[in-house]
């Protein structure tokens, strides 16, 4: 089995991201999956992207523009 490398983009582990850890994942081309060295997450690109969307759940106002006019005090 050949060594792992980096994929097309340098994905971070979505599971670690959700606990405020930025850690690069490595790509296993034989299994076509990314995996985390630190935790037990592994997944293909589609799964990584889905989990990245999930990680945004905490940003309840991610799409909202709040301008200076919105400050009443």
Partner 1 sequence: MDNTFVVNIIHRPEMVPEYAEKITGQGQEEDIGRKSLLTESLDIFKFQQETAHKNGLRVTIQMTYASLFNEEAVSIAKHDHEVYGDEIALSLLGLPCNEFRDKYRTKDFCIWMFSMEDKKSIVDDVFGKFHDIFGFYPRSTGSYYMDADLINYIKSRYPSVKCAIATCFEEGPKAYHTCNNSWYTLLDGGPWNPWIPSKQNSHAPAADESEDSGIVAIPHLSRDLLACYDGNGSNFGTHPQNVLRGMIYDTKTWEFPYFFNLVDQYRHLAAYNKGYSYNMMFVGPGWLNKLGRWEAPYELLKKSYEDGCRYYGDLKKQGRCVDMTMAEFADFYREHKTYSEPECALWKDILYGSDKQIFWYLDPYMRAQINMDQGGALVDLRPYAAKLYWPVGIGTKHVQDASYPFLIQEKYRAGYFTHYAGEGTIKSAKLCYKGEEVDLCLCRTKAHFSRDDRTVVLTLDPVEIEFADLTVKLQTKIYFEEGSSTIRYDRVILKMSRENAVITVNEYLVACYGTTEYPEDMTGIKLKVAKTLDHRDIDYEYRCREESLPGAAIASAVIPAIETKLLVGENTGKATGYIREGYAFSPMFTLGFTKELKCGEVMSTWLRLEKAD
Can you give the binding site for partner 1, defined by CB under 8 A? 5-6, 9-12, 17, 20-24, 38, 48-49, 52-53, 55-56, 58-68, 71, 73
For residue 47, what is the enclosing H or E element? helix 45-55
CB of 5 to partner 1, least distance (A): 6
CB of 28 to partner 1, least distance (A): 15
Cα 21 from Cα 23, distance rounded (Å): 6
Question: 39 near 15, Cβ under 8 Å?
Answer: yes
Per the document, the length of the chain is 73
When the beta carbons of 30 and 70 are compared against partner 1, the nearer one is 70
Question: 44 near 51, Cβ under 8 Å?
Answer: no
When the beta carbons of 17 and 35 are compared against partner 1, the nearer one is 17
CB of 14 to partner 1, least distance (A): 9
């Amino acid at each position: 089995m050949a060594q792992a490398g980096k994929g097309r983009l340098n994905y971070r582990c979505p599971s670690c991201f959700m606990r405020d850890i930025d850690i690069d994942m490595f790509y296993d081309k034989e299994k076509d999956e990314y995996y985390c060295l630190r935790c037990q997450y592994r997944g293909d690109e589609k799964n990584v992207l889905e989990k990245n969307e999930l990680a945004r759940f905490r940003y309840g106002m991610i799409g909202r523009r709040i301008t200076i006019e919105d400050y009443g005090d």
